[in-house]
Copies of this chain bind each other. A is one copy, B any other.
């Protein structure tokens, strides 16, 4: 099905939608961003910069381009990068995708256009097809981003089938953030055998996804709990895999019952000693002092730690 001549190494493992740190004036903190990315790479986590948990849709195209350029200039390996490039506007998606491919990124994570609701599969097919045709680069590898509870626009199995038929090389896989295991299972069954790589949208489904032949997970909590998640990926066939999964679930639950982005940023502020890490860009808001205190107490109760987090503090 795939043209092997143009296939780079397929992406596998644990990726994280990298949190975007902001300065107190709400501009992106390039220094914190680059430090956090290298800390994640050091833990074995690939970088899905500009995902939902990155507040990516609160950033302009220019801000995303600048952050990616800074990350590459810092020496981050492009083959570990899967930046989010899907936007409402076709022209924005094309610009961001072209930029990522030109930079050598291994793949891109692509939301469907998400302003208009109730759009047809025909319209979504045309959107993705227009991007692929305009970027016109055989290195392009698109991971479709299915997160209907946020985007409110569904990437159906029928749409994936049609896209794979038309663009077997460019359509590389999916991040299924629906939280609906039956949907992930259907994708694994229908498309993974043909080389379409299925990533679970959180580590909650990591073990199930790997047992189903999938490629790994792209998970928000990879920002704060990368080590143990990567360990499960490396040892998923070991006897203690279910116990590892249960432990991951317990940690995740602490974050998941709160506004997750705010909770993760608050956690890094605590672990790094850099209070500015807690900043979010509107419309999202940070935890208040009491919420932050309760979060710390609960994380301590499950033995949570971020080894080396002092490296995440910024000099300014």
Query: Which residues in A have some Cβ–Cβ distance to B below 8 Å?
Result: 26, 52, 57-63, 88-92, 95, 112-117, 119-120, 122-124, 126-127, 130, 149-153, 281-285
Contact = CB atoms under 8 A, between A and B. Distances in A.
A126 B88 contact: no
User: Top 10 closest A-B pairs, CB basis?
Assistant: A123-B283, A57-B115, A126-B282, A127-B282, A60-B91, A119-B283, A57-B88, A113-B283, A123-B285, A127-B283
Contacts of A95: 60
Contact of A60 (B57, B92, B114, B123): B92
A285 B130 CA distance: 13
A120 B259 CA distance: 11
Contact of A90 (B26, B116, B127): B26
Nearest to A122: B285
Copies of this chain = 2
Nearest to A94: B60
A60 B61 contact: yes
Contacts of A150: 115-117
A88 B52 CA distance: 12
Contacts of A122: 285
B90 A57 contact: no
Given A113-B283, A115-B151, 11 more contacts: A26-B130, A58-B113, A61-B61, A114-B115, A116-B284, A117-B152, A120-B283, A124-B283, A130-B282, A152-B152, A153-B283
